[in-house]
């Protein structure tokens, strides 16, 4: 979260690489198992910072022209949400019972805020969130409830977002997806992720291939 500008071993901007592209690559490897497993779920953890993010720019996904730690973090967290929405659409269009959902833990007193401050990427805003979290943040057990509900509640809805009732704290509930423009953002996310990793997520193709291997 809000790391100084850096690169992963694959050459990706640190936050986009770790928060989204690594999960994208893992999901491509798991797709055959997912499509074979009834009622499987893929839960992606986003953040309230998604509201500050912007859809990925295919010409500059790593913000090389104007890097800002918090902007890069917001973009990666918005990518998490759009990844879940786009993936769930593919599951539904293919007629599978698999679901993809998003969750965010709210203001949780883990070590992420102190890591941000120690790394020096968050500036004054990082110090503010560290102090706020230490004062009023939920403990990690309560912070885990929203992702846990998304993963286990039999009534959880595919493509939905689950988070604390009061935004940063409270019981885990389904939250409204209020941001417009998701269709275009999802198309851009698939385009950029494919270009950067060389890996595509095409549920219909994987499902058809999996079905063909089952035939006698």
User: What tokens does 138 get?
Assistant: 């939920």
Question: Which among 73, 83, 162, 190 is annotated as catalytic?
Answer: 73
Which candidate, 3, 23, 159, places its Cα nearest to that of 68? 3
73 is catalytic: yes
Return left, alpha or beta for 120; rule: phi > 0 is left, psi -120 to 50 is alpha, else beta. Answer: left
Return left, alpha or beta for 109; rule: phi > 0 is left, psi -120 to 50 is alpha, else beta. Answer: beta
Which candidate, 49, 90, 70, places its Cα nearest to that of 186? 90
Cβ atoms of 185 and 82 within 8 Å: the answer is yes
Catalytic residues: 73
């Amino acid at each position: 979260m809000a790391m100084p500008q850096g690169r992963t071993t694959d050459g990706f901007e640190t936050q986009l690489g770790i928060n989204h592209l690594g999960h994208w690559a893992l999901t491509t490897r798991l797709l055959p198992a997912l499509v074979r497993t009834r009622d499987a779920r893929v839960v992606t953890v986003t953040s309230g910072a998604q509201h500050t993010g912007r859809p990925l720019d295919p010409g500059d996904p790593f913000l090389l022209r104007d890097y800002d730690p918090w902007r890069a973090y917001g973009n990666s967290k918005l990518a998490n949400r759009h990844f879940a929405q786009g993936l769930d659409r593919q599951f539904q269009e293919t007629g599978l019972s698999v679901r993809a959902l998003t969750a965010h833990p709210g203001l949780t007193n883990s070590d992420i805020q102190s890591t941000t401050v120690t790394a020096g990427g968050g500036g004054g805003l990082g110090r503010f969130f560290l102090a706020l979290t230490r004062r009023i943040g939920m403990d990690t057990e309560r912070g885990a409830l929203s992702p846990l509900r998304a993963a286990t509640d039999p009534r959880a809805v595919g493509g939905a977002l689950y988070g604390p009732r009061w935004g940063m704290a409270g019981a885990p509930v389904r939250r409204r997806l209020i941001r417009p423009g998701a269709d275009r953002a999802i198309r851009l996310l698939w385009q950029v992720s494919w270009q950067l990793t060389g890996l595509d997520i095409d549920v219909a193709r994987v499902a058809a291939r999996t079905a063909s291997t089952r035939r006698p």
